[in-house]
Amino acid sequence: MHGVLRSGFVAVAAALVVATSSGAHAGSQEAAGNWSAAPDCVTFSADWRYTFVTNNCSGTHTLKVVYRDGTDVPSRVAPPGALITFPGHGTTGNEVLGVVVCDDGDGA
């Protein structure tokens, strides 16, 4: 019974993540400053708590989220198909400006 309940919870959580990602911001990637904007095959969805970044590209990228207030977060490696999580924008009026490439990794 616990295994079925846990499996159901995992399935619902995964569905929510996919639903959140598919509503990804077409957002102002160019507003991300001097960094190279992530390619169009990288999408993101931001809320107050988490920013979900999905690499729909055929290659691995090292990515980072850029925030309006300059919050610095570490870059993360995203292989093809990966969903990686960064902090959200918080509740103090900050904003996620976009996703940038720190290093091209294995290419596009």
CATH number at residue 34: 2.60.40.20
Q: Rounded CA gap, 102 and 37, in Å?
A: 9
Q: Rounded CA gap, 66 and 90, in Å?
A: 13
Residue type, 57: C
Residue 67 within a domain: yes
3-class secondary-structure state, position 107: coil
Return the CA Rg of the chain.
15
The total number of structural domains that make up the chain: 1
Q: What is the mean pLDDT of each run of 10 residues along the chain (108 residues)?
A: 49 45 41 74 96 97 96 96 96 94 60
Residue 108 within a domain: no
Residue 56 within a domain: yes
Q: Rounded CA gap, 24 and 71, in Å?
A: 21
Nearest to 98 by CA among 38, 47, 49, 48: 38
Q: Whole-model pTM above 0.75?
A: no
